[in-house]
Structure 1
Amino acid sequence: MDIFRLDERLARDSVLITKLGLCQLRLQNDKRWPWLVLVPQRNGMSELFDLTPLDQAMLTFETNQVASTLKDLTGATKINVGALGNIVRQLHIHIIARNEGDECWPGPIWGQGTPIPYADDDKHDFMKKLGGAL
Structure 2
Amino acid sequence: MFDLHERLAEDCHWLGDFPLCRLLLMNDSHYPWFILVPRVAGIREVYELPEEQQVQVLQESSLLGRCIMGCFHGHKLNVAALGNMVPQLHLHHIVRFPSDVAWPGPVWGKVPPTAYDDAELARIKGMMGEVLSSQAIDYQAA
TM class by shorter-chain length? over 0.9
Where structure 1 has 5 or more consecutive residues not aligned to the other structure, the ranges are: none
Tell me the residue number matched to 2:32: 34
Tell me the residue number matched to 1:62: 60
Tell me the residue number matched to 1:119: 117
Whole-Å Cα distance in 1 between the matches of residues 8 and 19 of structure 2?
Answer: 19
Whole-Å Cα distance in 1 between the matches of residues 68 and 91 of structure 2?
Answer: 14
Tell me the residue number matched to 2:8: 10
Q: Give the CA deviation at 1:72.
A: 0.1
Secondary structure of 1:5's counterpart equals: coil
Identity of aligned residues (%): 37
Tell me the residue number matched to 1:101: 99
Whole-Å Cα distance in 2 between the matches of residues 90 and 112 of structure 1?
Answer: 23
Where structure 2 has 5 or more consecutive residues not aligned to the other structure, the ranges are: 133-142
What per-residue deviation string (whole Å, max 9, x for no partner) do you get for residues 48-101 of structure 1?
101110000000000000011000000000010010001100000000000012
Tell me the residue number matched to 1:77: 75
Runs of 4+ in 1 over 6 A off after TM superposition: none
TM-score using structure 1 length: 0.96
Q: Give the CA deviation at 1:133.
A: 2.5
Q: Higher helix share goes to which structure?
A: 2
TM-score using structure 2 length: 0.91
Whole-Å Cα distance in 2 between the matches of residues 109 and 52 of structure 1?
Answer: 31
Whole-Å Cα distance in 1 between the matches of residues 118 and 7 of structure 2?
Answer: 20
Q: Give the CA deviation at 1:127.
A: 1.4
Q: Give the CA deviation at 1:111.
A: 1.4
The residue identity in structure 1 corresponding to 2:45 is: E
Number of aligned residue pairs = 132
